[in-house]
Chains A and B, each alone.
Chain A
Amino acid sequence: MDFNDTPEEAAYRQKVRTWLEANAPRTRDANDGGEGGGDLAAAKAWQAKKAAAGFACITWPREWGGQGGTPIDSVIFGEEEARYPIPSNPFQIGLGMCVPTVMNFADQATKDRFGLPAIRGEEIWCQLFSEPSGGSDVAAARTRAEKAPDGSGDWIINGQKVWTTGAQFSDFGIVIVRTDPNLPKHKGLTMFWVDMKDPGIEVRPIHQMSGGSGFNEVFFTDVRVKDNQRLGGVGDGWKVSLVTLMNERLAVGGATGAGWSQFLEAARDTTGADGAPLLQESAVREKLADWYVQAEGLRHARNRTMTALSKGQTPGPESSIGKIVSASLMQDLANEAVEMLDQYGIINDPDLAPLSGGFHGSLMMAPGLRIAGGTDEILRNIIAERVLGLPGDIRLDKDVAFKDVPTGR
């Protein structure tokens, strides 16, 4: 047990460091990294630079335009890159999930067309899965695709997607639609890629409770797509989506806002009724200790995952606990930090609140983090079923034609 790279990893890390030292940006736009998505031009320029140097899509096979590298190479690059004020990354969902799906299921001409522009950051992709009537239940998609009546073999898409990250600046998307409502829900789905510039596609930003607009609603009105835009067979959309979602684990990184260290400083700087720093109160210290232990547990669970990757093994299930722990940790810590301020805690003005309102920002983002990418409840189901091997839920909709499945709101 040690903290050292293997010789190959150390050599790769050195190569990465040398390149970053010469090429990485030294400053970041002050407005970048917010909920709005950040500085797109800067992000595209940085992606192009990485692609030219062979540091984009490190794990992709060479025939896709990738580097054929190992997951650990990719992790090493990510760690080293994070030391610099790089622009926020609008390519993660596309390169992590959408384009690999295209590469797995499209014809050769389509792959040739889309691979390199995506790697170079010239084209951005979004994932059109969630719908107003199906959040956790993705297979309940109601957006319809029907054969065009003109016999051209084209498909006509009508319906609505929701919570689509980056749709407002995406060039293309992959969309899961229902092609046969007479079949049980998992069997009547089909996947297509679509051009987001199509006049029948309307993107409307969602005004989040946190005030920002990182997500969108996407409306499809008579959007015509060619049959060769289909990814996988007609009715195989669910199987195709599982390939997409399998890549999700590698695409979606960890995320926390203000952490235990900032909380410790805030508790030191705030006094209680007796005039002493709140950090001296045992109730505050106990909570701080618990959060530190959780954060450390996640950090070292990640180290265990890295170790498995380094040894060429599949990471164990310990990697599945991250978001369940970090989302509630963020929410509880932020709330305690705000409550510590007593009456003053209601103020979130960055000029007046501690950490420029960082705790307040975390508090308002946390409910989203507990939902996005699998709710706390769905993640517990996943641990129970896939890690512990407990039975799946009894499903009333499994063998029923989709059109006959009861619906509510």
Chain B
Amino acid sequence: MFSRDQTPDRRREACEPMNFDFSEDQKFLKNEARRFLEANCPTSRVRKVLDDASATWDPELWKAVAGQGWLGAAIPEEHGGLGLGRLELCVIAEELGRAVAPIPFASTVYILAEAVMMAGSEAQKAAVLPGIAAGEVIGALATSEGPGALAASGIRASVEGGKLSGTKIPVTDGGIATHALVLAREGGQPALFLVDLSAAGVTRETLSTLDPSRDAARLVFDKVPAERLGGAGEGLSLVEQVLDRAAVLLAFEQTGGADRALEMAKEYALERFAFGRTIASYQAIKHKLADMYVKNELARSNAYYGAWALNTDAPELPVAASAARIAASEAYWFGSKENIQTHGGIGFTWAVDCHLHYRRSRQLSLVAGAPRVWKDRLVSHLERRNAAA
């Protein structure tokens, strides 16, 4: 009755993936990560950051995570890392997302380390990567200067004679980072700069955000030494490449969080009774949870494809990363809000963990550019691909 799928994208189907899964070693690492985080990052630990107005992260957890070797998992051994692939980072990311970990892992590992490995000089690699692996270097990506999506016209920060001046807001982990990647103009053209934040002329101001379990700051630069990362005038395309790589890893964090939100909703629904029976027996709840499950599976499947593209540096990466980010943002947003709804009144209290995921889902959806921007980019990629086909 219904004809078979006639999508034009037969290219990939010419070699259907028969090993589209993580290896046994990677799954083992994932289990180890889960066990480690259950012991070292229960939500009570996240709440210590959340409840303490002066805290924006958990330095002790950071040290412990460094001890696990996760920070340098994908950094080559010559630079002090473990020399593993990106798939290992993906499984770690999923567990960090599940645990709502209050640490600058994404800024440091997905963004700073990946950017330096991708575009950094040998000297820059030597200066930054061993420090990341050791847990001494913390990164931050400073692109935004105000409301609205990133655009060339919105970049006012500038570098003259190797000195950076300007303001970036918000900078995720800007209050605790040792190094920042700053998008600024040089000779009128946007470029990306590596900046040591211990230098004179850097002012930091911690910001109040939707997710107080993660750090964010306004950074003001006044003639701060800045070293270009990558080529002159390549700033925007470099940021795009950096974000494509980060998007895949962030998608795993989001998928981990979304799965946890579904689990919480399920556990609560099974225990909660109303009108003489468990609320998990009502179709209104069952269908809600089924919808969460469907979104999570779509997110996971897209994230897997992103992982493959990231790990193999495939030309499909920009498309795969966009799809992974869009699906994962949708899944975590839906899961985190419907988890609260499933809990009812108790879910709206500070004491119950639902809001940790609601907050983190907002943080993760916005941190590397909002989904609407990624949707537009995705369609642009598809337009080019369709035109080329």
Which one, A5, A6, A261, contacts B8 given CB within 8 A? A261
B376-A282 in contact (CB<8A): yes
Residue of A nearest to B326 (CB): A293
Give the complex CA separation of A259 and B10 in angstroms. Answer: 13
Q: Which residues of A contact B278 (CB under 8 A)?
A: 391
Residue of B nearest to A286 (CB): B375
Q: Give the interface size class of chain B.
A: 35 or more
A289-B19 in contact (CB<8A): no
A365-B2 in contact (CB<8A): yes
Question: Which of A133-141, A233-241, A249-257 forms part of the interface with chain B?
Answer: A249-257
A290-B375 in contact (CB<8A): yes
Q: Which residues of B contact A288 (CB under 8 A)?
A: 379, 382
Question: Which of B151-159, B165-173, B298-306, B345-353 forms part of the interface with chain A?
Answer: B298-306
- When A303-B16, A306-B18 are in contact, do A255 and B3 touch as well, CB less than 8 Å? yes
Residue of A nearest to B270 (CB): A390
Give, as a whole number of angstroms, the nearest-CB distance from A173 to chain B. Answer: 17
Which one, B87, B323, B386, contacts A265 given CB within 8 A? B386
A4-B19 in contact (CB<8A): yes
> Is B208 part of the binding interface, using a Cβ–Cβ cutoff of 8 Å?
no
Q: Which residues of A contact B386 (CB under 8 A)?
A: 261, 264-265
- When A380-B287, A383-B293, A384-B287 are in contact, do A297 and B301 touch as well, CB less than 8 Å? yes
Give the complex CA separation of A44 and B69 in angstroms. Answer: 61
> Is B6 part of the binding interface, using a Cβ–Cβ cutoff of 8 Å?
yes
- When A259-B5, A380-B290, A383-B294 are in contact, do A289 and B22 touch as well, CB less than 8 Å? no
- When A265-B386, A290-B375, A369-B2 are in contact, do A307 and B18 touch as well, CB less than 8 Å? yes
Docked complex: A1-56 residues within 8 A CB-CB of B: 1-6, 9, 33, 35
> Is B58 part of the binding interface, using a Cβ–Cβ cutoff of 8 Å?
no
- When A3-B15, A285-B379 are in contact, do A300 and B5 touch as well, CB less than 8 Å? no
Q: Give the interface size class of chain A.
A: 35 or more
Give the complex CA separation of A387 and B23 in angstroms. Answer: 24
> Is B1 part of the binding interface, using a Cβ–Cβ cutoff of 8 Å?
yes
- When A286-B372, A293-B302 are in contact, do A321 and B286 touch as well, CB less than 8 Å? no
A394-B277 in contact (CB<8A): yes
Docked complex: A276-324 residues within 8 A CB-CB of B: 279, 282, 285-286, 288-290, 292-301, 303-304, 306-308, 310-311, 317-318, 321, 324
Query: Can you list, as one digit per residue, whether each of B4-27 has a CB less than 8 Å from chain A (1) or not (0)?
Result: 111111101101111111110000
B13-A79 in contact (CB<8A): yes
B18-A321 in contact (CB<8A): no
Give, as a whole number of angstroms, the nearest-CB distance from A151 to chain B. Answer: 43
A381-B301 in contact (CB<8A): no
Give the complex CA separation of A368 and B8 in angstroms. Answer: 25
- When A3-B16, A292-B382, A300-B302 are in contact, do A388 and B5 touch as well, CB less than 8 Å? no
Give, as a whole number of angstroms, the nearest-CB distance from A369 to chain B. Answer: 7
Residue of B nearest to A6 (CB): B18
Query: Can you list, as one digit per residue, whether each of A43-75 has a CB less than 8 Å from chain B (1) or not (0)?
Result: 000000000000000000000000000001001
Q: Max chain B CB contacts within 10 Å: which of A214, A261, A279, A394?
A: A261
A1-B18 in contact (CB<8A): no
B293-A303 in contact (CB<8A): no
Query: Can you list, as one digit per residue, whether each of A355-370 has a CB less than 8 Å from chain B (1) or not (0)?
Result: 0000000000100110
Give the complex CA separation of A169 and B299 in angstroms. Answer: 42
Q: Which residues of A contact B21 (CB under 8 A)?
A: 1, 304, 307-308, 311
> Is A165 part of the binding interface, using a Cβ–Cβ cutoff of 8 Å?
yes
> Is B368 part of the binding interface, using a Cβ–Cβ cutoff of 8 Å?
no
A2-B266 in contact (CB<8A): no
Q: Which residues of A contact B297 (CB under 8 A)?
A: 297, 301, 317-318, 321
- When A295-B7, A388-B266, A388-B293 are in contact, do A1 and B286 touch as well, CB less than 8 Å? no
Residue of B nearest to A1 (CB): B308
Q: Which residues of A contact B18 (CB under 8 A)?
A: 3-6, 9, 72, 306-307, 310
> Is B181 part of the binding interface, using a Cβ–Cβ cutoff of 8 Å?
no
Give, as a whole number of angstroms, the nearest-CB distance from A380 to chain B. Answer: 4
Give, as a whole number of angstroms, the nearest-CB distance from B242 to chain A. Answer: 21
Give the complex CA separation of A368 and B307 in angstroms. Answer: 36
Q: Which residues of B contact A257 (CB under 8 A)?
A: 2-3
A214-B17 in contact (CB<8A): no
A214-B294 in contact (CB<8A): no
Query: Can you list, as one digit per residue, whether each of B311-334 has a CB less than 8 Å from chain A (1) or not (0)?
Result: 110000000001100110010000
A306-B379 in contact (CB<8A): no
- When A257-B3, A384-B286 are in contact, do A289 and B375 touch as well, CB less than 8 Å? yes
Give, as a whole number of angstroms, the nearest-CB distance from A165 to chain B. Answer: 7
Q: Max chain A CB contacts within 10 Å: which of B18, B269, B283, B286?
A: B18
> Is A352 part of the binding interface, using a Cβ–Cβ cutoff of 8 Å?
no
Q: Max chain A CB contacts within 10 Å: which of B3, B13, B297?
A: B297
Which one, B280, B291, B375, contacts A380 given CB within 8 A? B291
With contacts A256-B2, A303-B17 known, what are 12 further pairs, Cβ within 8 A? Answer: A1-B304, A3-B15, A3-B16, A3-B18, A264-B382, A279-B379, A286-B376, A304-B301, A377-B283, A380-B291, A390-B269, A394-B281
Provide 25 A-B residue pairs closer than 8 Å at the C-beta atoms, listed in order of the A residue. A1-B19, A1-B20, A1-B307, A3-B17, A76-B16, A257-B3, A259-B6, A264-B382, A289-B374, A290-B326, A293-B323, A293-B330, A295-B7, A297-B297, A297-B298, A297-B301, A300-B302, A301-B301, A304-B20, A306-B20, A307-B17, A368-B1, A380-B283, A388-B262, A391-B281
Question: Which B positions have Cβ atoms within 8 angstroms of A?
Answer: 1-10, 12-13, 15-23, 87, 262, 266, 269-270, 277-278, 280-281, 283, 285-287, 289-291, 293-294, 297-302, 304-305, 307-308, 311-312, 322-323, 326-327, 330, 372, 374-376, 378-379, 382-383, 386
Complex A-B, nearest 7 residue pairs according to Cβ-Cβ distance, in ascending order:
A297-B298, A255-B2, A289-B375, A384-B286, A300-B301, A380-B290, A3-B17
